[in-house]
Structure 1
């Protein structure tokens, strides 16, 4: 499964980056491809490319605040969760995504 997404916490510091790391590891463990953009206090990092978004099966938003650029995902399946969920249960989340999208 190809996943793109954004992480952004209310402070824009620690949870933004921890959530990204946890999601990337969980996706890797499932054999998925993932590209996560962060939107934090220092701005946007690892910005998603339009080609990545186009090829994605799902958009995963692990956010606690409003993020910029949501219009890029028009027509895509979007799953939005909190950064806490991404940090505390990333493997469970990936299993749910696989189940919801009928991916084995």
Structure 2
């Protein structure tokens, strides 16, 4: 499964980057690929390309705030969760999404 997403927390620092790291490591451990963009106080980092979005099977938005650029994902399966869910159970989240996509 190809995953793209955005991580963003209220302060734009700690939880944003922890969520990104947890999602990417969990995806790799489960045999998936992931590219996660961050949005925070220093702006957008690792911005998703149009090609990455086009090829993605799912978009995970792990955010505690309103994110920008949401219209890029029109037509894609989007899963929205708070950052703490990704931090606590990234593999569980990815497995649940994979199960849903197989239905």
* C-alpha distance in 1 between matches for 2:77 and 2:63: 16
> Deviation at 1:94?
1.0
Matched, 1:81 2:81: yes
Residue aligning to 1:101: 101
* C-alpha distance in 2 between matches for 1:79 and 1:45: 20
Residue aligning to 2:18: 18
Deviation by residue 1:2-49 (Cα, 9 ceiling, x = unmatched):
000000001100000000000001000111010000001100000000
User: Which sections of structure 2, spanning at least 5 residues, go unmatched?
Assistant: none
* C-alpha distance in 1 between matches for 2:3 and 2:92: 15
Count of aligned pairs:
103
Matched, 1:35 2:35: yes
Over aligned residues, Cα RMSD in angstroms?
0.9
1:32-71 to structure 2, matched below 5 A, reads 32-71=32-71
List, as ranges, runs of 4+ consecutive aligned residues in structure 1 with deviation greater than 4 Å: none
TM-score relative to the length of structure 1: 0.97
* C-alpha distance in 2 between matches for 1:92 and 1:2: 16
* C-alpha distance in 1 between matches for 2:77 and 2:93: 15
> Deviation at 1:55?
0.4
> Deviation at 1:95?
0.9
TM-score relative to the length of structure 2: 0.98
What secondary structure does 1:11 align onto?
coil
